[in-house]
Amino acid sequence: MESATQARPKTPNIVLAKRQTRAKRPLGLYDLTLPELEARLGKKRLPTYRARQIWGWLYRQFAPDYAAMTTLPVELRADLSAELPISTMETVQIRSADDGETLKTLYRTGDGELVETVLMLYPDRATVCVSCQVGCAVGCAFCATGLGGLTRNLSAGEMVAQVVGAARQARERGRSLTNLVMMGMGEPLHNYAETMKMVAILHDPAGMNLGARRITISTSGVVPRIDALAGEPWPVNLAVSLHAPTDALRDQLVPINRRYPVTELMAACSRYIERTGRRVSFEYALMRGINDADATARELAVLLRGELCHVNIIPLNPVDVLPYERPDAVGIERFAGILREAGIPTTVRYSRGLEIDAACGQLRAKAERLASQPSAGPIG
């Protein structure tokens, strides 16, 4: 087997030059919780109900600007528009696939960075996949997001803007947004405080009222934050990007395993299950000739036996600049079958949007490559 570490292009893990302090980033209305908005308006000696009116326009009507908030006084709308933008995110490009059932949106942040969001429409649900960082420091061998390292964390408002944008897209198609997965660019548990603030804003019953059980936080295995997540008041779902059952293989595919090896990760998952009573999902990106052997499937079954868990096998969504490929259909089903025969609940989930660079970070990477070419025109 070719070393996953050797196959990956050598790139810096963290790009410090682009990192901005939080104080320098523009603040948007989506960055505020309802109590924070009430306090802000209170300083203007405005009644509390004005904040709730704005909140309803934001998260129930998905108002794109203050002009649409017609129940507010004209003077207040003008005042807020001048001092506090609703969003600091600008839509650069929207690409569709699967007969319009998959939409990938490329956003530009207020400081010029690019991030991605994917809306996936299914017969029984509408799911948005949200990014939490510009880039990623984890550096998984098969992932496009980490190719340029980590630039910075996204704010809660930048994440909320992605969700509201997806909810607006779903509504335009006669659907309601039902689910949120933190499986886009970045490691959510490396941006813990802002991710939890985003959950609080979206969960607020006065606004979008997105149930916590419809929110899934994915992690590559940040053990201390898994323990912290178990103590949060919101019963969100936990998904762990496992991808290998042994340290020898996981060290190559998911470098954070060198800090939190498989034994420690599984112990944290067991504590999470014991404390919350909730099932843990294990994500497994299946790659031909890398982690798809029958013996590897049996090792995975042994590792997960007895846990309250579910395995999502995700045949790899290939990245054009990386050497990894998905197995054929027979190999995929054989791997899943070994797990099922061992009593491990297992689902095969094929990635959507192969023709629109749907692999995490791929559209951003392509846009940045085009923008860096002297003859390239504007993105989008």
Contact criterion met (CB below 8 Å) for 91 and 107: yes
Of 124, 143, 151, 128, whose CA–CA distance to 20 is shortest? 151
Give the 3-state secondary structure of residue 217: strand
Angle in degrees, CA 286, 356, 312, rounded to 5? 25
Residue with tokens 């649409």: 68
360 is catalytic: yes
Q: Which residue has the tokens 């004005």?
A: 50
Degrees, nearest 5: CA angle 184-189-194: 85
With residues binned 3-state (H G I as helix, E B as strand, rest as coil), the percentages for the chain, rounded to 5, are 40, 15, 40
Q: DSSP labels for 229-259?
A: HHTSSS--EEEEE---SSHHHHHHH-GGGGT
116 is catalytic: yes
Q: Which of 105, 100, 96 is nearest to 128 (CA)?
A: 105
Active-site position among 132, 269, 309, 360: 360
- Write down the catalytic residue from 116, 158, 187, 194: 116
Nearest to 356 by CA among 311, 321, 328, 320: 320
Q: Write out the catalytic residue numbers.
A: 116, 360
